Amino acid sequence: MAPFFATFITLLSLLQIFTTTNSARVGIVAPKRHGFSLDLVHRDSPASPLYDPTFTLTDRAVEAARRSIWRSRHFASRFSGGVSTKIYSPMKSGSGEFLMKLALGTPARLHWAIADTGSDLIWTQCLPCESCTGRKMSMFDPHKSSTYKTQSCSTSFCDDLPTEGKYCNNDRLCGFHYVYGDKSYADGVLSKDTLTFDTGVHGTIKFPSTTFGCVHDEAGNVATAEVSGLVGLGGGPLSLISQISSAIDNKFAYCLISYYDTNSTGQLKFGAGAEFSGTGTVQQTEMAQGSDQGTFYVLTLDDVSVGGKKLNVKFDAARPTALGDAKSIIIDSGTTLTLLSNEAYNPVESAVASAVEFEKVEPVEGFSLCYHVKSFDLQGFPSVTFHFAGADWELPPENAFLPVAEGVVCLAIVPSNMGIAIFGNVAQQNFHVEYDLGKGVLSFVPTDCTRL
């Protein structure tokens, strides 16, 4: 009897390791003691389905700037009363910067999607969808998945959808309808299915009963080409991070490759895989606690330095902003440029202009300060340091300036009139950035992201 009891306890322990359920009611079939990592592919990489070989350096820079401005406006609308404060609606997939692969359903089928720290809902285009602009071959077919289930209006996840974009259809299923600033829209049904990631060295990891949006009607190029959806990595209840939180110890990280390097891939890391390696000094700063930002990861910016000299930025504490605090700034992997309020941007531009001896040129569209250069080695350009609460994030010149045309370099920091400040992905390139949501702490350290 004793040997049988011991064997039973051993099997029960293994079952607890490999199958568990977290607070977000997602089953997990994965070795929790291991983290896992996925490749992040920049949209302009030849490995990306969005790659356009006809794009010039200027085309790429202008489009990235346009997406950054559009994204800041969309973020600002989150706080203007047009979108519920309970959950932030998903960004258009065409606005993202980094792509990831995921497999959905049983049997699993691989899909490209935008990885987005600025939104929550996981969604994909689903058949039937005659209005969808993505390729039909890349869309998810619910009828071919044995584990697909729709969600009724009485489910808790349906409650997490914004009131303005939620409805019950004739079958009492939970529907959603998101309208964007450019009048495009996405309409679908909240659903559940198995989400599968191929992690390479650690094999396949499955997350059964993952909640996502199945889009059956759209207008305005919500998704493009083979990128049929989006993976929300924000802080809201419907995000991938929240749904699998217990399996990843409530932490994730990424390491973004250089803007100049379109042949390498970055990394998106979860759980133990998010932990730091190497000998660099890891710095930490607190993320906003107890606020109503929900989706967004918000830091406190105390000051900025250019070339090692603090600017003593005078933030107007009495001036309301979209985030509520003049020092608040969203850290976002899906925005290329860094956007600052005028009170922070103006002294930065003045200090850069004093430090750089190259000839100024007419700014390229989307940028505010540009120089004529003979080479792109950025010698003669200063570093820019963002002094967050308790941590100094020093940007080397390649993280603060971008080549935007032959012989032209521009400051990758621009002014924002949206009431939203964003710390963008060029600033974060070649840093290992970890989000510990359990502790409410963001950590970072300089890293060669091509070597992870």
Binning pLDDT at 50, 70 and 90, where does residue 323 land? confident
- Does residue 17 lie in a domain region? no
3-state SS class at 309 = strand
pLDDT: which is higher, 381 or 274? 381
Residues 256 and 313 in one domain: no
Question: Token match 């609606």: residue?
Answer: 89
pLDDT: which is higher, 167 or 419? 167
Residues 137 and 249 in one domain: yes
Q: What is the predicted pLDDT for the residue at 31?
A: 46
- Does residue 205 lie in a domain region? yes
Which of the listed residues 226, 247, 270 is the one where a domain comes to its end?
A: 270
Binning pLDDT at 50, 70 and 90, where does residue 15 land? very low
Q: What is the predicted pLDDT for the residue at 162?
A: 82
Which of the listed residues 243, 270, 297 is the one where a domain comes to its end?
A: 270
Span 33-89, pLDDT tens digits: 568 999 999 999 999 988 899 999 999 999 999 999 888 888 887 766 544 444 555
Residues 257 and 153 in one domain: yes
Binning pLDDT at 50, 70 and 90, where does residue 277 land? confident
Q: Which domain holds residue 237?
A: 24-55+86-270
Residues 124 and 163 in one domain: yes
What are the structure tokens assigned to 367, written together?
């940028």
Residues 309 and 171 in one domain: no
Return the ∠ at Cα 202 (arms to 199 and 208), rounded to 5°: 65
Give the span between the Cα atoms of 235 and 294, in whole angstroms.
6
Q: What is the predicted pLDDT for the residue at 272?
A: 86
What residues have CB less than 8 Å from 301, skipping those under 6 apart?
327, 328, 329, 344, 386, 387, 388, 421, 423
Summarize the chain as % helix, strand, coil (round to 5). 20, 35, 45
Whether 293 has a pLDDT exceeding 90, the answer reads: no
Q: What is the predicted pLDDT for the residue at 80?
A: 61
Binning pLDDT at 50, 70 and 90, where does residue 14 land? very low
Residue 366, domain CATH? 2.40.70.10
pLDDT: which is higher, 70 or 26? 70
Its sign, for the CA torsion 418, 412, 46, 258, is negative
- Does residue 73 lie in a domain region? no
Residues 285 and 429 in one domain: yes
- Does residue 165 lie in a domain region? yes
Q: Which of 26-30, 176-180, 309-313, 447-451 shows the highest mean pLDDT?
A: 309-313
Residues 124 and 201 in one domain: yes
Whether 290 has a pLDDT exceeding 60, the answer reads: no
pLDDT: which is higher, 26 or 393? 393
Which of the listed residues 238, 270, 302 is the one where a domain comes to its end?
A: 270
- Does residue 172 lie in a domain region? yes
Residues 203 and 327 in one domain: no
Residues 174 and 304 in one domain: no
Which residue from 319, 73, 300 is spatially nearest to 182, judged by alpha carbons?
73
Q: What is the predicted pLDDT for the residue at 301?
A: 96
Residues annotated as catalytic are 116, 332
Whether 202 has a pLDDT exceeding 50, the answer reads: yes
Domains of the chain: total = 2
Angstrom CA distances, 276 to 232, 422, 442, stand at 23, 24, 12
Give me the mean pLDDT over the 211-223 stretch.
Answer: 82
- Does residue 5 lie in a domain region? no
- Does residue 335 lie in a domain region? yes
End-to-end CA distance of the chain: 49
Residue 164 burial by Cβ neighbours in a 10 Å radius (0-12, 13-18, 19+)? middle
Give the span between the Cα atoms of 255 and 168, in whole angstroms.
40
Binning pLDDT at 50, 70 and 90, where does residue 164 land? confident
What percentage of the chain reaches a pLDDT higher than 90? Answer: 59
- Does residue 171 lie in a domain region? yes
Listed in order, strand segments (DSSP E) in 287-412 are 298-306, 309-310, 328-331, 338-340, 359-361, 370-372, 384-388, 391-395, 401-405, 408-411
Q: What is the predicted pLDDT for the residue at 83?
A: 44
Residues 241 and 344 in one domain: no
Residues 208 and 309 in one domain: no
Confidence (pTM):
0.89
3-state SS class at 76 = helix
Its sign, for the CA torsion 347, 348, 350, 351, is positive
What residues have CB less than 8 Å from 282, skipping those under 6 apart?
276, 443, 444, 445
- Minimum mean pLDDT range among 89-98, 115-124, 128-137: 89-98
Span 366-409, pLDDT tens digits: 999 999 998 888 999 999 999 999 999 999 999 999 999 999 99
Give me the mean pLDDT over the 351-365 stretch.
Answer: 96
Amino acid found at 113 = A
Q: What is the predicted pLDDT for the residue at 148?
A: 98
Residues 266 and 312 in one domain: no
What are the structure tokens assigned to 443, written together?
């950590």
255 Cα distance to chain centroid: 12
